Amino acid sequence: MSDSYVNAPIRARMYANIWHKVIWVVVVVLSAGLLAPPLFFIAAKKRVVSMIVPIIYAVLIYGSAVLASVFGNPKNWVGGVLAITMIVAAVHAAILDTDWKPGR
């Protein structure tokens, strides 16, 4: 049996150091998730994640805001969508480099 990491392609690191990671996670949380798509676009350009990830975040975050402004927000569903997406994006941003090993 072979390990899946033996023949895995070399990936770039997403964060240079721990402070870089902390800053990105705090920025995602403070912006209520609105800056998650640019973060994951950068990660996709570095080939840390697939290009579909920033697209999904952009559709969820910006699409829900646009739909709420067009159709109204009678049951306040946009706040819930943005809160859940912000939490998921912050956790996802925090674990981007957890499997990165020096020398790989």
Query: pLDDT by residue (tens digit) across 29-73?
Result: 998 888 999 999 988 888 888 899 999 999 999 998 898 888 888
Residue 101's φ and ψ, nearest 5 degrees, are -125, 140
83 falls within a domain: yes
The pLDDT of residue 56: 94
Nearest-angstrom CA–CA distance, 44 and 92: 13
Nearest-angstrom CA–CA distance, 86 and 34: 8
Rounded average pLDDT over 12-40: 87
Q: What residue numbers bound the domain in which 60 lies?
A: 18-94
Check: CB of residue 57 under 8 Å from CB of residue 85: yes
How many domains are contained in the chain? 1
The pLDDT of residue 6: 54
103 falls within a domain: no
Percentage of the chain beyond pLDDT 90 is 25
- Integer-rounded Cα radius of gyration of the chain: 16
Check: CB of residue 81 under 8 Å from CB of residue 60: yes
